[in-house]
Amino acid sequence: MSSDGPSMNGAGDVPTVLVRDGQGRQLLCFLEQLIPLEGNDYALLTPVDTPVCLVRISEDDEQDDEVIEELDGAEPILSVADVVLQEHELTLVRSAVTLTVSGELEEPDPEELDEELAAEEEDDDSDLYEMLIQFRAEGQEYGLFIPLDPFFVVARMQNGEGILVEGEEFERVQPRIEAELDERELGES
């Protein structure tokens, strides 16, 4: 790794890394772990801003809500989400890897969250997401949801920046990164 590696954030606590994807989009992340593999440094990162996913909400109780994975044609819907978020002093960012929301989010009440998780555990089909906003666009209900599980990004470090690890490279290094993290965890206990 070069000497101009990850930068420290304003608090000086946790280093941050700017990750780029194949389309040149960026995502600022906290550096959680650095794992040397195959002559490269791979970074396990978490986004600085809050990751969200766009969901088409089914108006039919029999159908499940649909997570919109491909966002290329969703710009008119995201524009409506922008306006709704601005009312809450939040900003939707079309980042690398995922959509993110920047701004001050209200922290959920821990007791309320425990009750919701207990209720969801009874429902095996439930995903671990919390609704941030719901809105109507193009005659359909949509929502932006926050994943409650940690959202990790894997990047290969190059000249102090992270290059998003995707496709075949991800398939190749992901099991080795997990094994290294498991080994580190065992060494700490």
Report pLDDT digits (tens) over 44-92: 999 999 999 999 998 887 788 888 888 888 899 999 999 999 999 999 9
Residue 140 sits in the same domain as residue 54: yes
Claim to verify: residue 92 and residue 65 sit in the same structural domain: yes
Do residue 67 and residue 135 come from a single domain? yes
Asked if residue 15 belongs to a domain, the reply is yes
159 φ/ψ sector (left φ>0, alpha ψ -120 to 50, else beta): left
135 within domain boundaries = yes
Confidence band of 107 (pLDDT split at 50, 70, 90): low
pLDDT, one tens digit per residue, over 4-47 is 445 544 445 789 999 998 888 999 999 999 999 989 999 999 99
Indicate if 41 and 22 belong to the same structural domain. Answer: yes
Q: What pLDDT is recorded for position 9?
A: 46
Residue 69 is predicted with a pLDDT of: 86
Q: Cβ(130)–Cβ(112) under 8 Å?
A: no
Write down the pLDDT at residue 141. Answer: 93
Residues 116-166: tens digit of each pLDDT: 555 555 544 455 888 999 999 989 999 999 988 888 999 999 988 999 999
The answer as to whether 83 is a domain residue is: yes
Residues 132 and 158 in one domain: no
The angle formed by the CA atoms of residues 35, 36 and 42, to the nearest 5 degrees, is 55
143/164 same-domain check: no
Q: What is the pLDDT of residue 22?
A: 85
The answer to whether residues 92 and 142 belong to one domain is yes
Residues 69 and 143 in one domain: yes
Q: How confident is the model at residue 109 (pLDDT cuts 50, 70, 90)?
A: low
Number of domains present in the structure of the chain: 2
pLDDT at 119: 54
| 38 plus 90 within the same structural domain | no
pLDDT value for 2: 38
Q: Are residues 162 and 133 in the same domain?
A: no
Of 38, 49, 48, nearest to 8 by C-alpha is: 48
**b/e burial code for range 98-122 (CB count within 10 A of at least 16 → b):** bbbbbeeeeeeeeeeeeebeeeeee
Residue 2 lies in a domain: no
Domain that holds residue 170: 7-47+150-188
